[in-house]
Structure 1
Amino acid sequence: MQLFLDSADVEEISYGLEYWDIDGVTTNPKHVGRTGKPYVNVLEGIAHAVRNTNKPVSVQVNPRLTDWTRIVDEALKLHEISPNFIIKIGASEDGFRAVRALADRQIATNVTLIFTVAQAWHAARAGAAYLSPFIGWKDQFGDQTEELIANIAVSLDNFGYPTQIIAAAIRNAHQIGDAALAGAHVVTAGADVIRDSFRNPYTTMGEQIFGDAWDETPQE
């Protein structure tokens, strides 16, 4: 399973590339909005951070667009910014139509806001490179998130679709493990969640115990 960083912060992304060797980046309008900078300027900064790499970066078209031709027009503009950009499009009838049109142009897409197997199947059938079920949102309301990913994985395998599953909206380290067990190809998470996944209180306790033993052991 690959690790993507869910962020629009260029410093975070640069850190993730250097220290964690992240496999890619996902962004959304909310992340970009937090920077306080113009949308295109933020994307250009991210493009610069991943230059000379093959790391994919999911960047979203305007979610207010509901006509597939306008979605395609904006997607083409975003694609011109960087060859690393994967165009993120919401799961909808016009969204799937736009995905199909972009696939015909060899432009990779990531269908976001996936909550059902049917939506995932439509995304894969349209030619999406990635699809993103929102795990944290479903888990928040008591839904079985592992089951959704596993069922999507089965449906893709049944028909031989190459579309990859990105487990998105990850809220804690436990959900990273759940995504891996369920068969997600990629997990994307914020920097704080990724840092939490490196740690465990039992590991900290063990290091303290062994460190104390080391300190008490003669070294010469």
Structure 2
Amino acid sequence: MKIFIDSADLDEIKQACEWGIIDGATTNPSLIKKAVEKRAEKNSMEDYIKEILKTVPGPVSLEVIAVKADEMVAQAKLLYEKFSPYGEVVIKIPVNPSLSEGDHLDFDGLRAIKQLSREGIPVNCTLIMTPEQAILAAKAGAKYVSPFAGRIDDYIRMRMGMKIGVDYKKEDYFDYSLLCRIWDLKLNEQIAKCGSILDACKSQEIRKLDQTIHDNGIISGVDLIARIVRIFRIYGFKAQVIASSIRNARQVREVAEVGADIVTMPFEVLREMIRHPKTLEGIRDFMADVIPQYKEIFEHR
């Protein structure tokens, strides 16, 4: 499994690359803008992006900002031609760029992906929320597909009536197994009120309860990744799955367990992955137990 850093902060990127674990990076215009403003330097946006590409030892995803197919293709070519001399550029295209119903742009992302793939420009299809979208992106020729695990967790929480910042923090792990146990208890209560299995199946309250804990059968962000990976392997799709919108280290482990090709994560999640209280305790114990004779080996060279 490859690890990408989801950041445009050059200091974070350089530090993570020095650790020897980074295979690529994903960015977006908002991340780049925030990073440039943080540095408070006079570097142009173009120079800043070039510096990122020179630093990262692998693909760097740069995003278009148009929503129409022809405009996305034009912007993609501009980004690719301008920045590919400095590193491995991949173009991010949204799977569905439609801004509202009736604008007839639902399939423009796929049209752009098809055109760019024909011309040899690698595409990372972003904002994927369903396996169905991932299938279409792979069929259109995307080199990478990026399903958003954290946002699906947020969406399911929202359907349950939970609010981010009130009922949970963005970085909190979404414990779906706990949710299932609670749901089973509630479901059993509702079934007990019904006179028969048929009545339970017809119960609108039970149906409503069932609909709140999944998104069209997807029970979590990790489940979304797992289903896409499974489908791609069944049919031999060449597109690589980038597990995106990752919020915590446990989520990284779980998407690794289900076979994600790549995980892209913020700098803080990378830092979280290395930490454990017993590791800290162990290193302190080892250092305290070093005897003088052993220490002398390193002092007299």
Deviations 1:140-164 (A, max 9, x none): 3354122111110111112211100
1:1-220 to 2 correspondence within 5 Å? 1-34=1-34, 35-36=36-37, 39-50=45-56, 53=57, 55-62=58-65, 65-83=66-84, 84-92=88-96, 93-140=107-154, 141=157, 143-212=219-288, 214-215=289-290, 217=291, 219=293
Q: Report the RMSD for the aligned CA atoms in angstroms.
A: 1.8
Q: Deviations over 1:51-86 (max 9, x none)?
A: xx5x10011111xx2210000000000001233110
Q: Secondary structure at the match of 1:66?
A: coil
In 2: Cα distance, 1:133 partner to 1:39 partner: 27
Q: Which structure has the larger Rg? A: 2
Aligned residues between the structures: 213
CA contact (8 A) 2:68 2:108 kept: yes
Quick one: structure 1 residues 40 and 156, their matched pair in 2 at CA, closer, same or farther if it must change by over 3 Å? same
For residue 20 of structure 1, give the secondary structure of its aligned residue in structure 2. Answer: coil
Q: Deviations over 1:158-207 (max 9, x none)?
A: 22111001111111111110110111000111111101101112222233
Aligned partners of 1:218 and 1:68: how far apart in 2?
Answer: 70
For residue 6 of structure 1, what is the amino acid of its counterpart?
D
Whole-Å Cα distance in 2 between the matches of residues 44 and 128 of structure 1? Answer: 24
Counterpart of 1:73, as a letter, is A
TM-score (norm 1): 0.89
How high is the TM-score relative to the length of structure 2? 0.66
* 2: CA distance, partners of 1:174 / 1:49: 28
Give the superposition deviation at 1:38: 5.3
Cα distance in 2 for residues equivalent to 1:208 and 1:14: 28
Contact 1:44–1:81 (CA under 8 A) maintained in structure 2: no
For 1:219, what is the secondary structure of its paired residue? helix
Q: Identity over the aligned pairs, expressed in percent?
A: 38
C-alpha distance in 2 between matches for 1:38 and 1:181 = 41
List runs of 5+ in structure 1 lacking aligned partners.
Answer: none
Shift, 1:33, TM fit: 1.7
AA at the equivalent of 1:203: T
Residues 112-135 of structure 1 deviation map (CA, whole Å, 9 limit, x = unaligned)? 111100010011000101011111
Letter paired with 1:219: Q
SS at match of 2:19: helix
